[in-house]
Structure 1
Amino acid sequence: MMLPTHALVGMALALPYALAVPELGPVALVAGFLGGVLPDVDLYADHRRALHYPVYHSVLAAALVPAAVLVPSPAVAAAAFLALGAAAHGVADVFGGGLELRPWEGTSDRAVYDHYRDQWIAPRRWVRYDGAPEDLLLAAGVAAPSLVVLDGGYDLLVFAALFVAGVYTVVRRILPALATLAVERVLVPYVPSAIVASLPDRYFEETG
């Protein structure tokens, strides 16, 4: 699933807590949003493995969210919803497409790495690929409660995420061609080979 969807899911998961504990609402909402974003920091370095922990993040969230309810504090709430957003991200990626450059082709058997079992989890493809129309629909669906309830700038954050999601959905299918063109015409001729070699293999599928 695309990054805005993950971010909006993380925020939506924090919304009930923000309503129940309003003094910690801003901390929870921002942490949930960032938690949804955090795993994809590994996008260009061992993607869906280096920072994706569907099992361990889930276990951590299961411990921290009750703690945030029982002992509400900014630090505990931030940790809890950062972990919950990250856990939701890792689990949700299982239900999307694989790691290939064009995930709509369905050629990859790798969705996200399970460090607990030391193996890759196969993609379910309920959402066929990141940026698919159903991905945008999901983003809009999870954003709706936040748009109804939140104000004070949070609604603008949600609208911004939806805007990015819409643009990404429109251009998603041409991005692989642009990426391989950039590798072939820019990176390979002008960037040190050590840096080029650090890119994921999927960016060299057409360039060799």
Structure 2
Amino acid sequence: MMNTTHTAMGVTLAAPLAVVAPELAPAAALAGVAGGVFPDLDLLSGQHRQTLHFPVYYSAAALVSGAAALVAPTVGTVAVAFFLLSAALHCVTDAAGGGLELRPWEATDDRGVYVHPANRWVAPRRWIRYDGAPEDLVLTAVFSLPGLLLFDGAVRALTVVGLVVAVVYVAVRKQLPELETRFLR
């Protein structure tokens, strides 16, 4: 899935707080955005979906930090909980997409996301055929609705930017491997 889908999902996780704890909602949403982005920073390491993708560990940490946020709901505890929850969701949902190949629509790679405790890769499910597929854009749009309707300020602005980036990325996605092989190798 596109990073914009992951960030929109992070904002959506925080949407209920806009009603039940509006003073904490912006921090939770921004932390959800950061948690949605963070695992993909492993693209810089050359070990994508392995180095910073921890579906089991982020999930466990999200449970602990979520409990702490329920007991002591401060901006800090809520932000940590939503960062970890969004990072966990990012890693788990990566397995719903395609593999790690340069042209994921060809479906030649069986690596979806690495599960460290099991010391193995989970195969991609390809429910979202590849990052930047039209159905990925639909998910981004749907998960952007809470960011557009329930938030203002930075959260809404980041949601709008994410939608614009998603539309452009989907429009050029299938041309990117050709550009990469032509200009970066």
The CA distance in 1 between the partners of 2:83 and 2:50, in whole Å, is 18
Match of 1:142?
143
Kept in 1, the 8 Å contact 2:30–2:155? The answer is no
**Structure 2 equivalent of residue 112 of structure 1:** 113
- Quick one: which amino acid aligns to residue 42 of structure 1? D
After TM superposition, the score normalised by the length of structure 1 is 0.85
The aligned counterpart of 1:77 is 78
Q: What is the match of residue 190 of structure 1?
A: none
Which amino acid counterpart does residue 71 of structure 2 have in structure 1? Answer: L
Aligned partners of 1:115 and 1:159: how far apart in 2?
A: 35
Q: Which of structures 1 and 2 has the larger relative contact order (alpha carbons within 8 angstroms, sep 6+)?
A: 2
Structure 1 residue identity aligned to 2:24:
L
Shift of residue 170 of structure 1?
0.3
- Partner of residue 61, structure 1: 62
Q: Which runs of 5+ in 1 are unaligned?
A: 185-208
Please report the TM-score for the alignment, with normalisation by the length of structure 2: 0.95
2:6 aligned counterpart, secondary structure: helix
Deviation at 1:70, TM superposition (A): 2.3
Name the structure 2 match of 1:5: 5
- Quote the Cα distance in structure 2 between the aligned partners of 1:52 and 1:28: 21
Aligned-residue Cα RMSD (Å) equals 1.1
Q: CA deviation at 1:153?
A: 3.8
Aligned to 2:134: 133
Q: Which residue of 2 aligns with 1:162?
A: 163
Which is greater in Rg? 1
Q: Equivalents in 1 of 2:167, 2:71: separation in Å? A: 39
Give 1:15 deviation, angstroms. Answer: 1.6
Cα distance in 2 for partners of 1:88, 1:152 equals 24
CA distance in 1, matches of 2:67, 2:141: 28
Report the AA paired with residue 36 of structure 1. G
Q: Does 1:35 align with 2:35?
A: yes
Aligned-pair identity in percent equals 51
Tell me the residue number matched to 2:19.
19
Residue 181 of structure 1: how far off its partner (Å): 1.0
**Any gaps of 5 or more consecutive residues in structure 2?**
none
* One-letter amino acid matched to 1:37: V
CA contact (8 A) 1:18 1:29 kept: no
Q: What letter matches 1:2 in structure 2?
A: M
Range with greater deviation from structure 2 (91-100 or 54-63): 54-63
Runs of 4+ more than 4 Å apart: none
Q: Compute the displacement of 1:116 (Å).
A: 1.3
Name the SS for the 1:43 alignment partner: helix
Distance 1:125 1:89 in 2: 15
The CA deviation at 1:5 is: 0.5
Summarize the Cα distance change of 1:5–1:88 in structure 2 as closer, same or farther, 3 Å threshold.
same
In the aligned structure 1, how far is the partner of 2:105 from the partner of 2:29?
A: 32
CA contact (8 A) 1:68 1:80 kept: yes
Find the residue that maps to 2:81 and give its secondary structure. Answer: helix
